Amino acid sequence: MDYVGIISKLLICIFEAYIYYDFFKNIFEYRSSKKIVHIGLLALMAIAIWLVNCQDNSLLNVCMVPVLFFVFNCFLYKESIRNRILYVIVFFVVMMGIELIFEIIFSVACGLQHIEVMENPYNWTLIVMVEKTISLIVFRIIKYINNKIGNYIDRKLYRWVYILPITSLIIFVGFIYSDISIGVISIPKAILLMGCFMLLFSNAIVFYLFEKASQLMYQASQLEIHNMESKHYERIEEVNQEHRKFIHDLQHYLRTISSLSQQGNNDEINEVLKEMKYEVREIQSKTYCAYPILNAILCEKENQAKQLGIEYTAEIEPIVDLTKISKIDLMTIIGNLLNNAIEAASKCAEQRYVQICIRTSKEHFCDIQIENSIDKMPERRGNQFITDKEDKEKHGVGLHNIEEAVKRNNGLMHINVEEHRFAVEISLIIPMEEAVSQNL
Amino acid sequence: MYRIAICDDNLDNAKYLEKLIHKICGQKHALAIQIFQSGEDMIHAMNDEIDLVIMDMEMEGLSGYETAKILRSTNKQFILALCTGIVTPEAKFYDLKVLRYIMKDDPEEEIIERLTSLLEEIDHRRERRAVFFYGQGKGMSMRFDVDDILYIEHYKRKNWICVTQNAAHKYGSERIEIRESMEEAYAKVRRFGFGYSQYSFIANFSNIIGIKGRMIYFIYGKSLAISRRYKQQFEQDLRDFIREG
In this structure, the dihedral spanned by the alpha carbons of residues A333, A337, A338 and A339, taken in order and rounded to 10 degrees, is 110
> Would you say A185 and A1 are in contact if contact means Cβ atoms under 8 Å apart?
no
Model confidence at A354, pLDDT cuts 50, 70, 90, reads very high
At residue A310, the pLDDT reads 92
Whether B89 sits inside 8 A of A290 (CB atoms) is: yes
Give per-residue pLDDT as tens, A170-219: 887 777 777 665 556 677 777 887 888 888 888 888 888 887 887 788 77
Give per-residue pLDDT as tens, B136-185: 766 688 889 998 999 999 998 899 999 998 888 888 888 999 989 999 99
User: Which chain A residue lies closest to B192 (C-alpha atoms)?
Assistant: A362
Chain A nearest C-alpha distance from B86 (Å): 7
Whether A427 sits inside 8 A of B105 (CB atoms) is: no
At residue B150, the pLDDT reads 94
Chain A nearest C-alpha distance from B93 (Å): 6
Which residues of chain A does B243 touch, with a Cβ-Cβ cutoff of 8 Å? 361, 367, 369, 425, 427
Averaged pLDDT, A105-131 = 74
Give per-residue pLDDT as tens, A6-46: 888 888 899 999 989 988 887 788 888 888 899 999 999 99
CA distance A103 to B187: 62
At residue A181, the pLDDT reads 55
> Would you say A15 and A207 are in contact if contact means Cβ atoms under 8 Å apart?
no
Question: Higher pLDDT residue, B244 or A416?
Answer: A416
DSSP assignment string, B190-220: GGGTEEEEETTEEEEGGGEEEEETTEEEEGG
Instruction: Flag the least confident range among A180-194, A315-329, A404-418.
Output: A180-194
CA-based max dimension of chain A: 117
At residue B87, the pLDDT reads 54
Mutate which of B86, B94, B194, B212 to test chain A, going by most A C-beta atoms within 10 A? B94
At residue A394, the pLDDT reads 45
Chain A nearest C-alpha distance from B235 (Å): 7
Nearest to B111 by CA among B16, B27, B34: B16
Is the pLDDT assigned to residue A389 strictly greater than 60?
Answer: no
Whether A412 sits inside 8 A of B245 (CB atoms) is: no
CA angle, residues A224, A353, A240, in degrees to nearest 5: 50
User: Which chain B residue lies closest to A367 (C-alpha atoms)?
Assistant: B243
Give per-residue pLDDT as tens, A224-268: 777 777 776 677 677 777 777 777 777 777 888 888 888 888 888
Give per-residue pLDDT as tens, B90-114: 656 666 777 777 887 778 888 998 8
Nearest to A117 by CA among A184, A212, A182, A30: A182
Averaged pLDDT, B67-88 = 81
Alpha-carbon radius of gyration of chain A:
32
At residue A397, the pLDDT reads 46
Whether A440 sits inside 8 A of B90 (CB atoms) is: no
Write the burial class of residue B10 (CB in 10 Å: 0-12 exposed, 13-18 middle, 19+ buried): middle
Contacts 24+ apart (CB under 8 A), A18-23: A18/A42, A18/A204, A19/A95, A19/A132, A19/A135, A19/A136, A19/A139, A19/A204, A20/A45, A20/A69, A20/A72, A20/A91, A21/A76, A22/A139, A22/A143, A22/A204, A22/A207, A22/A208, A23/A91, A23/A139, A23/A142, A23/A143
Mutate which of A425, A426, A429, A433 to test chain B, going by most B C-beta atoms within 10 A? A429
User: Which chain A residue lies closest to B210 (C-alpha atoms)?
Assistant: A410
User: Which chain A residue lies closest to B147 (C-alpha atoms)?
Assistant: A362
Mutate which of B93, B209, B244 to test chain A, going by most A C-beta atoms within 10 A? B209
> SS3 for chain A, per residue?
CCHHHHHHHHHHHHHHHHHHHHHHHCCCEECCCCHHHHHHHHHHHHHHHHHHHHCCCHHHHHHHHHHHHHHHHHHHEECCHHHHHHHHHHHHHHHHHHHHHHHHHHHHHHHHHHHHHHHCHHHHHHHHHHHHHHHHHHHHHHHHHCCCCCCCCCHHHHHHHHHHHHHHHHHHHHHHHCCCCCCCCCHHHHHHHHHHHHHHHHHHHHHHHHHHHHHHHHHHHHHHHHHHHHHHHHHHHHHHHHHHHHHHHHHHHHHHHHHHHHHCCHHHHHHHHHHHHHHHHHHHCCCCCCCHHHHHHHHHHHHHHHHCCCEEEEEECCCCCCCCCCHHHHHHHHHHHHHHHHHHHHCCCCCCEEEEEEEEECCCEEEEEEEEECCCCCEEECCEEECCCCCHHHHHHHHHHHHHHHHHCCEEEEEEEECCEEEEEEEEECCCHHHHHCCC
Give per-residue pLDDT as tens, A152-169: 556 666 777 788 888 888
Measured between CB atoms, which of A318, A369, A438 is closest to B87?
A318
User: Which chain B residue lies closest to A276 (C-alpha atoms)?
Assistant: B105
At residue B160, the pLDDT reads 93
CA distance A217 to A359: 31
Averaged pLDDT, A71-82 = 88
At residue B184, the pLDDT reads 93
Whether B91 sits inside 8 A of A323 (CB atoms) is: yes
The residue type of A341 is A
Q: Is B68 helix (H, G, I), strand (E, B) or coil?
A: helix
Model confidence at A381, pLDDT cuts 50, 70, 90, reads low
Model confidence at A395, pLDDT cuts 50, 70, 90, reads very low
